[in-house]
Amino acid sequence: NAGVTQTPKFQVLKTGQSMTLQCAQDMNHEYMSWYRQDPGMGLRLIHYSVGAGITDQGEVPNGYNVSRSTTEDFPLRLLSAAPSQTSVYFCASSYRTSNEQYFGPGTRLTVT
Amino acid sequence: AQTVTQSQPEMSVQEAETVTLSCTYDTSESDYYLFWYKQPPSRQMILVIRQEAYKQQNATENRFSVNFQKAAKSFSLKISDSQLGDAAMYFCAYRISQGGSEKLVFGKGTKLTVNP
């Protein structure tokens, strides 16, 4: 099992550009989520999904879109990047009834 | 609103000594889970230990143990026989399940330094 994979590991964008952060898991987990980590802020939930075709907003959803067309994939889209979106992004997955989330290695995004 | 508070931004410990990291949380739920995650410089989030709220017995994983005080809403992590590899950011987290969704709420973290 590869677990939770994220691509790319690093990305630099200019303000206004768009991009998609990829996340995939091979553990057949129903639940997937995206977090952002900023210095001194811990991890904050952006969006989450409880299964294919079902997504919902977390604590800080503005500026981000998600979709879940398959169980395995949960991409995060930035439609018009802003400097405030400079952060480290983590994808995580778990079974619905599990009490542990598995995290990907993170993507460091810089918006200039 | 559910919140998690880690009151110690930084802690340090001598190698082989014991250190305790504090965490308090606020919830109106009766059934929930609590976690401690470790984040070394590699950035990978690693689960250290978890506690089910309905269990009175404190969870233990090798050198890591928790002091879970449900009434006080306190969940501290004790690291015994500290090792250099324990140096990392430690995050306390609380998982809630509402309406079919599951959310993890994290504290802001404690940076642990282990001195040789």
Cross-chain CB nearest to A41 (options B50, B100, B108): B108
Contacts of A99 in chain B (CB under 8 A): 33, 50, 52, 95
pLDDT band at residue B54 using 50, 70 and 90 as cut-offs: confident
B101 to A94: CB separation less than 8 angstroms, yes or no: no
Is the peptide bond preceding residue A8 cis, with omega within 30 degrees of 0? yes
Provide the 8-state DSSP code for A73. B
Contacts of A105 in chain B (CB under 8 A): 43-44
- Phi, psi (rounded to 5 degrees) for B80: -100, 155
B43 to A40: CB separation less than 8 angstroms, yes or no: no
Query: Region B101-112: what's the mean pLDDT?
Result: 88
The nearest CA of chain B is from the CA of A42 a distance in Å of 4
Residue B19 has pLDDT above 70, yes or no: yes
CA B60 to chain centre: 12
Q: Which pLDDT score is estimated for A100? A: 83
Structure tokens at A86: 């400079």
Provide the 8-state DSSP code for A79. S
The nearest CA of chain A is from the CA of B83 a distance in Å of 23
pLDDT band at residue B103 using 50, 70 and 90 as cut-offs: confident
| A-B C-beta contacts closer than 8 Å | 54
Residues A87-107: tens digit of each pLDDT: 999 999 998 756 688 999 999
Structure tokens at A79: 């439609």
pLDDT band at residue A2 using 50, 70 and 90 as cut-offs: confident
Query: Region A60-75: what's the mean pLDDT?
Result: 96
Q: Which pLDDT score is estimated for B73? A: 94
DSSP letters, B2-66, are -EEE---SEEEEETTS-EEE--EEE---SS-EEEEEEE-TT---EEEEEEETT--SPPEETTEEE
Query: Region B76-84: what's the mean pLDDT?
Result: 98
Residues A19-62: tens digit of each pLDDT: 999 999 999 999 999 999 998 888 999 999 989 999 999 989 99
